[in-house]
């Protein structure tokens, strides 16, 4: 909630909440600025209070709105709205067995259940993004790298590197808003190469079925440019690491 408090204390009418340690948009800054202006204009014209890029909406078939790169209309007194509904929000999470009571879930509640704010999701045609975590830790080895194209969300690691074809493609739900700035896949790939030195490279920490962080130890298989490792003590925990150098 830091950005909300900062905007309130400094009298901003609106602002962008960008989860910089959670999502990377791979395009030249000037191109991302185009996208930001287009999204902001769209939200203002339609009185959308929170307008976020597609992080989990397609993956969960519209079931979970989340922050990522989000335009916020600050004319709303967000703190008062949240305070007013926080007790019923907690009761709701208990009733539906939601353990993670973070700000994403609060937004889901006040927009979808209480219906006191408008929260929508957009995506950008052909834009490549990486869903990452703090520093070089990358916890989504199969679906982290993604792009939107022609009504579908593509996961290149699954499609090309693991050779799983259609298993790496999801249909974008109809309630998501498409924003097109005429960006090309080639632009995004070129920018990735410039800033990362590789199309995608990461070190991974994985979680097991109980959502506990585990370390990887032994080599299990070699998928061309990737190494698949597995923890000997927990066969359900795996990690895919890009070979570099």
Q: Where are the domains of the chain?
A: 2-122, 206-242
Q: State percent of the chain over pLDDT 90.
A: 46
Q: Which residue has the higher pLDDT, 232 or 100?
A: 100
Q: Which residues 6+ apart lie within 8 Å of 21 measured at CB? A: 132, 133, 134, 135
Q: Which residue has the higher pLDDT, 205 or 116?
A: 116
Q: What is the mean pLDDT of residues 166-183?
A: 93
How many residues in total does the chain contain?
245
pLDDT band at residue 60 under the 50/70/90 scheme: confident
Q: State percent of the chain over pLDDT 70.
A: 72
By the 8 A CB rule, do 148 and 128 touch? Answer: no
User: What does the alpha-carbon distance between residue 105 and residue 113 come to, in Å, rounded to a whole number?
Assistant: 11
* pTM reported for the whole predicted model: 0.77
Q: Is the pLDDT of residue 55 over 50?
A: yes
Residue 196 confidence (pLDDT): 61
pLDDT band at residue 192 under the 50/70/90 scheme: confident
Mean pLDDT computed over every residue of the chain: 78
Residue 193 confidence (pLDDT): 77
Q: What is the mean pLDDT of residues 163-191?
A: 90
- Which of 3-7, 23-27, 140-144, 175-179 has the highest mean predicted lDDT (pLDDT)? 175-179
By the 8 A CB rule, do 65 and 111 touch? Answer: yes
pLDDT band at residue 182 under the 50/70/90 scheme: very high
Residue 156 confidence (pLDDT): 81
Element (H, E) at 25: strand 23-26
Residue 130 confidence (pLDDT): 81
């Amino acid at each position: 909630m830091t950005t909300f408090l900062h905007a309130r204390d400094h009298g901003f009418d609106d602002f962008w909440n960008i989860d910089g340690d959670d999502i990377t948009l791979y395009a030249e800054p000037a191109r991302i600025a185009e996208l930001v202006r287009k999204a902001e204009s769209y939200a203002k014209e339609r009185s959308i209070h929170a307008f976020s890029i597609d992080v989990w909406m397609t993956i969960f078939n519209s079931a979970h709105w989340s922050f990522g790169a989000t335009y916020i209309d600050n004319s709303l007194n967000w703190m008062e709205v949240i305070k007013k509904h926080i007790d019923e929000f907690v009761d709701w999470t208990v009733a539906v067995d939601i353990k993670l009571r973070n700000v994403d879930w609060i937004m889901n509640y006040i927009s979808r259940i209480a219906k006191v704010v408008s929260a929508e999701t957009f995506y950008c045609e052909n834009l490549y993004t990486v869903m990452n975590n703090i520093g070089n830790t990358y916890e989504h080895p199969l679906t982290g790298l993604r792009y939107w194209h022609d009504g579908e969300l593509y996961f290149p690691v699954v499609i090309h590197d693991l050779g799983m074809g259609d298993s790496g493609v999801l249909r974008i739900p109809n309630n998501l808003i498409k924003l097109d700035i005429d960006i090309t896949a080639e632009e995004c790939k070129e920018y990735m190469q410039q800033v990362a030195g590789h199309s995608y490279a990461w070190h991974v920490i994985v979680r097991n079925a109980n959502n506990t962080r585990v370390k990887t130890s032994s080599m299990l298989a070699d998928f061309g440019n990737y190494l698949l490792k597995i923890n000997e003590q927990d066969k359900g925990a795996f990690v895919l690491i890009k070979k570099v150098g």
